[in-house]
Each structure stands twice: as structure tokens, then as C-alpha cells.
Amino acid sequence: MLTATGAGIYLSTHVAGPIPAETMTAVHESDDMELRLGRVGPDRDDDIEQREREARAVAAAVLKASPERVVLTHGAADAARLICLEVLEHGSEAAQRVVMLEGLDRTIAAAVRDVADVAGAEVEVLPEAPRILANDVALVVLAHVDADGRLADVARAAEAAHKAGARLLVDAGRSVGAIPTDVDELGADFIIADGHRWLLGPDAVAFAWITPDLDEELPEWLRQATAPFARGSLLALARSVGWLLMYVELPWAIDRTVDLADQLYADLAAIDGVELLADPEAHGAVAAFRIRDWDPGDVVDELSRSIFAIAEADAGAQVIRASVGAWNRESEIERLVKRVAELAEHTPETLPRRPSLTIISGPLDPEEGA
């Protein structure tokens, strides 16, 4: 049902998750209908509205929230841009400063900076959630789980933000579907998340949740600002998340993902020569690590060749990132850890090379001879 997980050890869900076969079938059927019948008709608007409601409903179910407070957006950066604009335009004139925590997705950080520049607001970047904020702060933006797997202290940030009269925006793109995420427990004013990671949805479709404490008309205003969406994208998000909720059972998937992530962290932390960037006791489902004397690109190439692991090399940060999902097997984690341990015992020059298999792509041209 998740065909891509058979192509190797799928460890890049933090980049994009595998798509369920059921989702692709539904999208192909929708595309075929539009090809045969066109994208017009008396019921077209009603149909798109129904698809949009379905997508919002499943997103709300993941967050344990009301669908009326959920808005679909064209990516998480789009959501962050609109929310930042709303807060800075309609907030107090005395509070125009934005605080961002390190580890935000670069596209979200860029979107917030762009709006702040236009609004003339100052942006301050902090290494961790603050305990105290000045009254001139209008918005605090942080990632629930950052790119390196670090888990933010959202509760502390929420307390500090609300004491200062500021709003809290949480990017949950690397946590929704991977670790428990409950709007009531997080205490944020806004939560945004991509649909293409652990929720297995399409690219470029995200959603935002808005606290009921804010204007009741705000979600509708944001919906007007983000529409329209392609029918296939709405259908894909609804089918993928619905598949997780009703067929797989999302609580089970999250529990299993957490268990596998704990296993991965514990095993990597036990290897001499491996450095984990996140705390093994408090992390998300993505592990960022370094191996002594190894370049990340060389590590990922070696893992791909030797055990068919699909991981990410970040040359700029000099880290390897591997993430797990409920579909991973314990044996796959064990194979990864075993190979990482073998690499850590050697340098690129001393590592015994495993024989490779050369595959000829097709027959030779008869005119060129044998």
C-alpha cells in the first residue's frame, strides 16, 4: 500500500513521505474524469467546496480540533506569511517585534522576515524558547520539532508569549502524524503543518489551525485569501489522512513511530564516533547525526549502496538526517545502525569496500556489434 517503502529503507519522511496507493488511484480517477468531461459544469463549484471541507475535516481530526478553525494553504510558508500579516496589521501598534526560534524551516523563516520587513517590524532570533518576553513582541514563531529532531518547549514559549500579550505560531510540519500533537496541550494561537510528510499527502498543500480565542471571521478571511485549490490536491490530502485515520489508525501509527524513533536514537547514541544533534531523551522522529572523519554526502552514498537506505545529506550543516515512520521495520533500523557503526570504526580510506553489482540498462545496438 506504500509502494515507495519497498524501494529501500525509507528514512526521508522529514523531506516527503510515501504516498498510499489508494491516494494515487483516487487522484488518477479524478484526473481522468477531468480529462474526459472537462473542468466545468453546473456542479463544479459545489464539488470543489465539498472536497475542501473533507480535507479540512481530516486535518482537524489529526489535531483534535474543530474543522471550522482549520484553513488550507498553499504550503506552510504561505500560512506563516498570512498569519504574520494578520498579527502585525491588526495587533497593537506598540507591539511590532517578531521573535523566531532557531531551527525553523527556512521557507517559513523567510516568509516571516518578508512580512516583517514590509511592516517595518524588527525580527529577533533566539536559540531556545524564552521564559520572559518584552511587551513590544507581537508574534513568537517556532518549530515544534526542528530539522535536526530537537523538540521545542512549546508550553514555555506559550506562557511567555501570552504574558507579554503576544501570539504564538507553531510549525508542526515535522511533528503532526509522527508524535502526539494536540492543540489544547500545545497552547499555541496558530499551528501550521505541511501535509506531505508523515500525513502522506500531496506536495504544496498545508493547513493552519487558529485558536477560537481569535476573531470568528478570521478563518473565513484566510480561506478567501488562499483559495482556490486543485481538485486532485484536495482529494489527495483527504484520502491520505483519511487512510491513516480510519484504515491504519493514527494513534497506533504515532505510537509505533515514537517507538522506532526511540530505538534509532538509543542505538545511534551508543556508537562511538557518532554525534547526535538532538537529546536522545527528547526528540522527534527525525535524527540528525555526524560520523567522525566522514563527510555527510559520502555517508549517505555508502548507506545507499550498501543497505539501500534513503536518507538526507546536508552539506551546509554537515549532518546526515534519517527519519522513521510507522511503516519502517525494526530490522531496517538494525541494518542502518549496524552499517553506521561499521562506518564509525573506519575512515573513508580504510573502509573495506563491498562488491557492487553493475546492471546493463538494455541490449546493445545490433549495428554496433556485440
pLDDT of 368 over the 70 cut: no
pLDDT of residue 172: 97
Strands (E), the chain: 9-10, 70-73, 97-101, 123-126, 137-143, 167-171, 190-194, 206-210, 274-276, 286-291, 309-310, 312-314, 319-323
Distance CA 68, CA 216 (A): 9
Residue 283: phi and psi, rounded to 5, are -155, 170
Task: Answer whether 315's CB lies under 8 Å from 297's CB.
Answer: yes
Percent of the chain with pLDDT over 70: 95
Length of the chain: 370
CA contacts within 13 A on the Cβ side of 68: 5
What the block records as the C-alpha cell of 167 is: 501570539
Interstrand relation of 274-276 and 286-291 (parallel, antiparallel or unpaired): antiparallel
Given pLDDT bands bounded at 50, 70 and 90, which one contains residue 40? confident
The pLDDT of residue 139 is 96
Which pLDDT tens digit goes with each residue over 196-210? 999 999 999 999 999
Q: Per residue in 350-364, pLDDT tens?
A: 988 766 555 555 555
If you write DSSP's letter for every residue of 252-299 in order, what string do you get?
HHHHHHHHHHHHHHHHHHTSTTEEESSBTTBB-SEEEEEETT--HHHH
* Average pLDDT score over the chain: 92
| pLDDT digits 0-9 by tens, 148-189 | 999 999 999 999 999 999 999 999 999 999 999 988 889 999
Tell me the mean pLDDT in the region 43-53.
92
Asked if the model's pLDDT at residue 261 lies above 50, the reply is yes
3-state per-residue secondary structure call for 164-184: CCCEEEEECCCCCCCCCCCHH
Q: What pLDDT is recorded for position 364?
A: 52
pLDDT, mean of residues 111-126: 95
Look at residue 96 in the predicted model and tell me its pLDDT: 84
Q: How confident is the model at residue 95 (pLDDT cuts 50, 70, 90)?
A: confident
Give the pLDDT band of residue 227 (cuts 50, 70, 90): confident
| CA-closest candidate to residue 8, choices 256, 336, 365, 368 | 336
Whole-angstrom Cα distance, residue 52 to residue 71? Answer: 9
Q: In this structure, what are the phi and psi dihedrals at residue 308, rounded to the nearest 5 degrees?
A: 60, 40
- Asked if 346 contacts 292 with a C-beta cutoff of 8 angstroms, the reply is no
Q: Give the 3-state secondary structure of residue 124.
A: strand
> Region 251-263: what's the mean pLDDT?
97
**What is the per-residue pLDDT across 308-355, written as a single tens digit (0 to 9) for each?**
999 999 999 999 999 999 999 999 999 999 999 999 999 999 988 766
In this prediction, residue 304 has a pLDDT band, given cuts at 50, 70 and 90, of very high
Across 93-116, average pLDDT = 92
pLDDT of residue 302: 95
pLDDT tier for residue 370 given thresholds of 50, 70 and 90: very low
Tens digit of each residue's pLDDT (9 = 90 or more) over 9-29: 999 999 999 999 999 999 999
Burial class (CB in 10 A: 0-12, 13-18, 19+), 120: exposed
Q: What's phi and psi for 226, nearest 5 deg?
A: -105, -20
Q: Which of 48-52, 220-224, 251-255, 283-287 has the lowest mean pLDDT?
A: 220-224
Structural domains of the chain ordered from first start: 21-248 (3.40.640.10), 250-344 (3.90.1150.10)
